[in-house]
Amino acid sequence: MTTRGDSRDYILVSTGKIAATNKYAATSEIIPLKKQSGKTCFFEEGKGLKIEQATGGFLPGFGPIICGRGYCADPRNSGKRSAIMISSRSGAASLIIGNSIWITGGWYKRTTYKSTEFVKPGSKTRKGPDLPKKLRVYKIRLFMV
């Protein structure tokens, strides 16, 4: 499926924990909010991304992106790695800023981060400003006042 139109036309659902089995799913799906024909599920169970507590979004000019565990991937391309992160992290939060994804906080191997990074597919990942506190498994939103 080629994702066209505004990113607000789609919902990206990636990975997660299955309550009935207490195991992590390795599935990702882009769900159109408007009725469309075509396949939207990109990974079969047990194949694709193995990212726990991933973050991601819809990058203008690129499309959907999923990040965690040290890399970002394109769910439309069987999880092909599209960028390498500075830090391996799960439970991070992110915002799309321009044509980059700003990945903040998270954790890896019992270490919680306050570091951030800007990821842009096809470019070198660059360090961002530190958060005031170490954070993991949280949400971040941009508000215009």
The domains of the chain, with CATH numbers, are 7-127 (2.120.10.80)
pTM for the full predicted model? 0.75
Confidence of residue 21 (pLDDT cuts 50, 70, 90): confident
Residue 69: pLDDT over 60: yes
Q: What tokens were used for 59?
A: 């990058």
Q: Is the pLDDT of residue 14 over 60?
A: yes
* pLDDT in the model for residue 132: 94
Give the closest residue to 31 by CA, choosing from 9, 59, 53, 55. 9
Per-residue pLDDT, averaged over 115-141, amounts to: 92
| SS3 state of residue 115 | coil
**Paired strand residues for 67:** 55, 72
Burial of 100 (0-12, 13-18, 19+ CB in 10 A): buried
